[in-house]
Amino acid sequence: MRVSPWSTPLLIVYAILITFAITAGPILIAGANPIEAYGAFVVVPLTSQFTLLEILVSATPIMLTGAAVAVAFRAGYWNIGAEGQLLLGAIAAAGIGTLVGGLHPVIALPIMIVGGALGGAAWALAPALLRIRFGIDEVVTTLLLNPVALLLVNGLLHGPWRDPVTGFPESPRIAASAEFPTLIDRSRLHLGILLALIVVTVAWYVLARTAAGLRLRAAGLSPHGARFAGINVSRTLLGAALVSGAIAGIAGVSEVAGIQNRLTAGLSPGYGYTGIVVATLGTLTMPGVAIAAIFLGDLTVGASSAARSLGIPSQLGAVVQGVLLLTTVALLALRRNRARRPADGSAGSVTGDVAAEGTAG
């Protein structure tokens, strides 16, 4: 195999280097040595068991939302609504979680996971149907349903689900049998990471090795060519949208059952949007999504510890993330322009453009 200077892994490495060069300015302004800061962001979290496990905890929800986004984007369905779908999964989990107290976890947990997946898929259904039936742009509809989902959460928390004991806008704690078990003592690492890895593995297998996956990729690369070859593109898009919503819903289950143990308004600090970053950095491949999620988890843990050790604002982690997304998208676009493309610049042959729009919105 010849290695092109524009191969995907190299491209991501360039993107990281360029990002470090660009963010050196803000870090200097914050009064820290950039080299030291990058060390704190990236390397320090890898040096202790506690932070290593925390990286995985941070990576769990965004690995799931990243996989959700990547599945949809590969089909050419620009689902920007993973955030809302995650919240619906969380609502379902919080509701089911209070009802399954009498059941053994082996039964309770699958019920909750399936319920959350259905919740996420249900939230993804309307935009998908509008797109397929009427050609209404799903970027807009999926994005706009995100705040609606948050309103639904707040409505529940200030209404029927308000904690009766404390009066806080939090739902009642879910049953013990519905909580995800921790995997390692005295850490927050929970079942969710295994769930995320299983989802990523299954999604990889389906995309790479099955007829359904090939149809989905074909529809994403060239809807016209796929339709011409007899593939039912509408059904493929609907399937991709629902699976995407379901995976995002599982992310919501994971946060409720693994971290919060109840529904809270601050359950997701934008995991659905970060999923777009993860999917783009992972170039819409499942191994890429897993690596990108762990890398961003590393940055998140690193940024909060750097805030303490170097006295710089923890928001610099988000700055690095944002710049990294922009440079990655820019390099992918640059590569697409360089590539010889005879006839059509078929939509979605490279990932990032719409993803970038989504996070900007």
Partner 1 sequence: MIDSAPALELRGITKRFGDLVANDGIDFDVRRGEVHALLGENGAGKTTVMRIAYGLTQADAGEVRVEGQPRIIRSPRDAISAGIGMVTQHFALVGPMSVAENLALGRSRGLRLDLAAARRRAASASDRFGIRIDPSLRVANLSVGQQQRVEIVKALSRDCRVLILDEPTAVLVPDEVNALFATLRSLVADGLSIVFISHKLAEVRAISDRVSVLRRGKLVGTAAGSTDERELARMMVGRPTFGVERVADGAAPSAKPILRIRGLHVAGANDLPAISDVSADVCAGEILGVAGVSGNGQTELVEVLSGMRRPTSGSAAVSGTELAGADPGQVMRAGVGRIPEDRHASLIGDLSVAYNLVLERLDDFGNGGRIDERRIRAHAVELIRRFDIRAGPDDPVATLSGGNIQKVLLARVLSRDPRVIVVSQPTRGLDVGATEYVRSQLLERRADGAAILLVSEDLDELIALSDRLIVLYEGRIVGEMAVADADPEQLGMLMAGRGRAA
Q: How far is the CB of 209 from partner 1 (least distance, A)?
A: 6
**Whole-angstrom Cα distance, residue 195 to residue 3?**
34
In the bound state with partner 1, the residue whose beta carbon lies nearer, of 55 and 231, is 231
Contacting residue, 209, 269, 311, 313, with partner 1 by CB under 8 A:
209
Q: How far is the CB of 319 from partner 1 (least distance, A)?
A: 33
Contacting residue, 230, 266, 338, 360, with partner 1 by CB under 8 A:
230
Per CB under 8 A, does 226 bind partner 1? yes
Q: How far is the CB of 357 from partner 1 (least distance, A)?
A: 21
Please enumerate in sequence order all residues whose Cβ is within 8 A of that of 78, keeping only pairs 6 or more positions apart, or say none. 72, 138, 139, 142, 354, 355, 358
**Whole-angstrom Cα distance, residue 247 to residue 67?**
7
Q: What is the CA radius of gyration of the chain?
A: 21
8-state DSSP, 258: I
Per CB under 8 A, does 106 bind partner 1? no
Contacting residue, 346, 347, 353, 357, with partner 1 by CB under 8 A:
346
Q: How far is the CB of 78 from partner 1 (least distance, A)?
A: 17
Angle formed by the axes of helices 191-209 and 49-74, nearest 10°: 30
Contacting residue, 98, 349, 353, 357, with partner 1 by CB under 8 A:
349
**Whole-angstrom Cα distance, residue 346 to residue 41?**
38
Per CB under 8 A, does 360 bind partner 1? no
Say if residues 147 and 88 touch (Cβ distance below 8 Å).
Answer: no
Say if residues 85 and 68 touch (Cβ distance below 8 Å).
Answer: yes
Please enumerate in sequence order all residues whose Cβ is within 8 A of that of 120, keeping only pairs 6 or more positions apart, or say none. 68, 85, 86, 88, 89, 245, 246, 247, 248, 249, 250, 251, 252
Please enumerate in sequence order all residues whose Cβ is within 8 A of that of 125, keeping only pairs 6 or more positions apart, or say none. 241, 242, 245
In the bound state with partner 1, the residue whose beta carbon lies nearer, of 50 and 228, is 228
Q: How far is the CB of 107 from partner 1 (least distance, A)?
A: 28
Question: Of the listed pieces 48-56, 145-153, 207-215, 293-301, which binds partner 1 according to CB under 8 A?
Answer: 207-215
Per CB under 8 A, does 152 bind partner 1? no
Per CB under 8 A, does 235 bind partner 1? no
Say if residues 75 and 236 touch (Cβ distance below 8 Å).
Answer: yes
Per CB under 8 A, does 201 bind partner 1? no
**Whole-angstrom Cα distance, residue 275 to residue 251?**
10
Contacting residue, 224, 269, 287, 315, with partner 1 by CB under 8 A:
224
Three-state DSSP class for residue 75: coil
Question: Of the listed pieces 85-93, 100-108, 205-213, 324-332, which binds partner 1 according to CB under 8 A?
Answer: 205-213
Residues 163-192 that bind partner 1 (CB under 8 A): none
In the bound state with partner 1, the residue whose beta carbon lies nearer, of 233 and 356, is 233
Per CB under 8 A, does 335 bind partner 1? no
**Footprint of partner 1 (CB under 8 A):** 209-212, 214-215, 217-218, 221-222, 224-232, 340-344, 346, 349
